[in-house]
Amino acid sequence: MKALLALALTLGSLSVLAESKITLSISLSPAGSFQAVSQKLKGNVIKTGESFSADKITVSIESLKTGIDLRDEHTWKHMNSTKHPKATLSDVKGLNGKATGTLEVNGIKQPVGIEYKIAGPNIVAKFTVKASEFGLKKVEYLGVGVSDSIAAEAILPYVAR
């Protein structure tokens, strides 16, 4: 019974471990969706009192995986990964679940509004962007297209000061 309890506690604790991950949810036309996921989200989030701040949170474009190797290659190429290998979120300031920041993709910077919540040692931030605002052209491959609107969810551990 003790072993079982220990196992249950161990499994339970896994859900509150610190992790770094970004998930992009992308709709397909005519229908369907896929996710581009990277576990290589880097950066520091600082909690000061009730407010949060972060600067230079980065992810390598070529660390994004979509579940199809060919689609990975198309995604990286589409996002100009050779010329602009990273997406960067800078100057993030947040309070009471809402934050603002500047996102740079494909060498173009745009302000973004972010909603966040605390989950154990992590902060879970969500925001939506339009690919066209970052100079990314409309995507279509053999009749199947990709939506302009992309929802992102970033999970990063934070440090309290």
Partner 1 sequence: MKRFILVLAFLFSNATWSYTQFIGHGYTSCLNCHYNPSGGGPLNDYGRVVSATLISSGKLYPKVWNEEQVAGSSGFLFRNPTQNWFRTQVNYRGFQLVQNPGSTRSEQKRWINMQADARAIVKFGENDRFVGVANFGYSPVPENLKGEEPEWRSREHYLGYRINPKVGVYAGLMDKVFGVKVIEHIAFSRQAPEVMQNDQTHGVLLHYLGESWEAFGHGFAGNLTQDDDLRMKGGSVMVERTAFDVHRVGASVMSSRNQYQELLSYSTHARLNLKEGSAVLAEVGQVQRKTENGSDDRTMRYGLLQTYLRPTRGLYFLSNIEYFKRNITESDYTVRWGPGVQLFPAQRLELRFDAYNTRSFSPDTSSKDSWMYLLQTHIWL
Residues of this chain that interact with partner 1 (CB under 8 A) are 25, 27-35, 67-71, 73, 141-144
Q: Which tokens in the block code for residue 146?
A: 């990709």
| DSSP class per residue in 20-82 | -EEEEEEEEESS-EEEEEES-EEEEEEEETTEEEEEEEEEEGGG-B-S-HHHHHHHHHHTTTT
Smallest gap from Cβ 14 to partner 1, in A, equals 18
Q: How many CB atoms lie within 10 A of CB 25?
A: 17
Nearer to partner 1, 13 or 29 (CB): 29
User: Closest separation between CB of residue 29 and partner 1, Å?
Assistant: 7
CB 38, min distance to partner 1, A: 16
Whether the CB-CB separation of 109 and 102 falls below 8 Å is answered with yes
Q: For strands 140-141 and 98-105, give the pairing.
A: unpaired
Nearer to partner 1, 115 or 140 (CB): 140
The radius of gyration computed from the CA coordinates of the chain, to the nearest angstrom, equals 17
Least Cα distance to 155 among 17, 35, 50 occurs for 17
Nearer to partner 1, 73 or 133 (CB): 73
| Residue number with CB closer to partner 1 (72 or 91) | 72
Smallest distance, partner 1 to C-beta of residue 60, A: 19
The least CB distance from residue 142 to partner 1, in Å, is 4
Q: Of the two residues 11 and 70, which places its CB atom closer to partner 1 in the complex?
A: 70
